Amino acid sequence: MKIHNALSLYVFGIDLTKKFSDGKGDFSKVEFLVQNKTDGYYVKAQLNEDEGVYYVTGHTENKTDATHFVPVTSGEAQGKVIVKGLEDDTYLMTEVRTASGYTLLKEDIEVVITKAEKDELCNIYGTDVLGLIQNDPRYAEIINDASDMKNVPQKHLEHKLLTASATVDGKKVTMVEDDGSANAHAPLTVVNTRGFDLPQTGDNGTFVFTVIGILMMAGAAAVIVLASRKKRA
């Protein structure tokens, strides 16, 4: 049975691995946004550079204020975006920027983290920072004999064990362990392939027409050249 702290908060995370099809892309040019689909807010987080982990600090309704998650390259952890401190809920991960010469993901990635209670109870805790045990006369004899309160049953603080599961784009995934919790992070892998996407909507949509115009002009010029050659012949 897993040992819990009296102040344990059940928070989860996302463990994204970014890859390039040819293994040559620049991770520093990649950016993701994380949005809570249920409530519509964007996640804000702070990168702990020593750990290579983003810790959630809050959320915002404004997309412009959202944190841009850049894959971290540290040791063997190449192209990692690890976000800790998420509630169990539905999230959308949007790739808003990628390395030059690679195709940007066209669709958001939906990550669903679900928490549920198990049938069995847990009455064992790792530590007691609130002093609940130390001030409880029922444990006076134990306290006098030993100062280490770890692994001591604490009936008055018992609760049902919690478990979690996750899906990525509707497919169930095996959650990754973190800090003693077996079901902590939802793992996923994102691969960018070589290619180039033309913008189709918005202000940049005019670029499409520019390219089409250039191609038409080049085609017309080719026709003129061929026609003049036939006349000379």
pLDDT per position as a tens digit, 138-195 = 555 555 555 555 555 555 555 455 678 999 999 999 988 887 777 889 999 999 999 7
Residue 58 has pLDDT above 90, yes or no: yes
CB 199 within 8 A of CB 27: no
What integer pLDDT is reported at residue 177 of this predicted model? 86
Does some domain include residue 141?
A: yes
- Number of structural domains in the chain: 3
User: Does residue 1 sit within a domain?
Assistant: no
Dig out the tokens for 80 from the structure: 């990692």
Per the domain annotation, does 35 fall within a domain?
yes
- Using alpha carbons only, give the angle 130, 56, 19 rounded to the nearest 5 degrees: 135
The answer to whether residues 103 and 193 touch, using CB atoms and an 8 Å cutoff, is: yes
Q: Are residues 69 and 98 in the same domain?
A: yes
Same domain, 116 and 175: yes
Given a contact cutoff of 8 angstroms between Cβ atoms, the answer to whether 99 and 70 are in contact is: no
pLDDT > 80? residue 59: yes
Domain range enclosing 15? 8-123+158-194
Q: How far is CA 3 from CA 23, 26, 36, 162, 199, in A?
A: 41, 41, 30, 12, 52
Residues 93 and 204 in one domain: no
pTM of the model: 0.65
Residue 206 lies in a domain: yes
Residues constituting the chain: 233
Q: 230: buried, middle or exposed (CB in 10 Å: 19+, 13-18, 0-12)?
A: exposed
Q: Are residues 93 and 162 in the same domain?
A: yes
